[in-house]
A = this chain, B = another copy of it.
Amino acid sequence: MPKDMTETRDIFERRESEARSYCRSMPAMFASASGSNITDAEGRSWIDFLAGCSSLNYGHNDPDMKTALIEHISSDGIAHGLDLHTDTKGAFLRAFEEHILAPRDMDHRVMFTGPTGANAVEAAMKIARKVTGRTNVIAFTNGFHGVTMGALAATGNGYHRGGAGMDKSGVTRMPFDAYADGVDSAALLDQMLSDASGGIDAPAAIMFETVQGEGGLNAASPEWVKRIAEIARKHGALLIIDDIQAGVGRTGTFFSFEEMGVMPDIVTMAKSISGFGLPLALVLVRPEHDVFGPAEHNGTFRGNTHAFVTARVAIEKFWSDDAFQRELAEKAAQITRSLEQVAALVDGARLKGRGLMQGVDVGSGELAGDICARAYDKGLVIETSGNEDQVVKVLAPLTTPADTFRKGFNILLDATRDAVTARAKLAAE
């Protein structure tokens, strides 16, 4: 490694906070990326099945977005515009309305929050509380909604919850769909809310992800989602779908809840909405619930102008007709087939998730971690999820070519085989 590079490396040890994480298991210093490939400063390349945790659904540095962004910057386009009107924001909104909202009969307003998913979740929860005059938000086991104090109350993960150093309030936890054997969690929720002494305060909102990305790729059934929507309506609560990880095509449709027969009152979006991996987050809210006054929920970076440029291109390029969505269906099927091969290598393993948000529960976090570590060494970036990190999770760019998918899965198969063999050897000793 050249001296300069070594020094640069040292700087992370010396000056970056211990809160850093991904770089610990994937210590390369990355320098460039294109499509589904990412390359480090020494020229080594990996296939990327992590895709910025679903923030790079269209891959790295999509050429059309790249061109548009460079052009914008070159011509002194606005880089930071607070929440002033800009031509780029207008163009994004028009594309979003034309290709996303209108075709899905969604009359939602778009609120640009601070450019993080957590900020969108905070805004959504505040809106629901302001609309209903109630405090309580129903959230679910294994849900992940961010780590700022309002959102963290809704997040299930104990490690993140502990980071707060204080109690969280305003959220009631309920079991997610199919969480506990024999428990009809929608029926239980309805019973407790209907019971005058059920002890759960009338809810402002019911909030969930249709596929729990961090929680282990638990996919709610369409029936459950529909029943929860009905329970929300029955009890005067808003339905919030947190589509930050599962949205923007990840499950095979733009929104994860399409084809489920529900219309959420509020949808939160972030991660891939900018198309290019740039920070952007937004809240979709039905007009009758668009109750914030001017700047009542504010923030300096609400609306990232560069991200508007790439987000517009992404929408026009991928969602102006149904070609891309049809491709996704094929890819999802390929992923299922490939993961079945992986699962076959591990006793008791089972597939999780849906669409392009699938994985294999290999039964233990240790094994899943070992598989991912071996995959990394072989040239594949891939990560685990789940309450015990027991799920090997494929979050490849939606645009990954079939051939790259194949190569990636071959590495994953090899890594799994090696890990299983090593484990058997260890057990035999």
Contacts and interface: CB of A to CB of B under 8 A. Distances in A.
A119 B114 contact: yes
Contacts of A202: 158
Contacts of A22: 82-84, 295
Given A166-B129, A196-B158, A118 B7 contact: no
A155 interface: yes
A73 interface: yes
Contacts of A192: 141, 173, 175
A383 to B, nearest CB: 9
Contact of A199 (B17, B76, B155): B155
B197 A141 contact: yes
Interface stretch (A85-93, A327-335, A340-348, A351-359): A85-93
A109 interface: yes
B29 A296 contact: no
Interface in A109-161: 109-112, 114-119, 122, 126, 128-130, 133, 135, 139-144, 146-151, 153, 155-161
B115 A388 contact: no
How many identical subunits does the complex contain? 4
Interface string A6-41: 011101101111111111101111111110001001
A215 interface: yes
A256 interface: no
Contact of A173 (B169, B198, B276, B304): B198
A261 interface: no
A2 to B, nearest CB: 12
A31 B79 CA distance: 10
Nearest to A155: B199
Contacts of A32: 75-78
A61 interface: yes
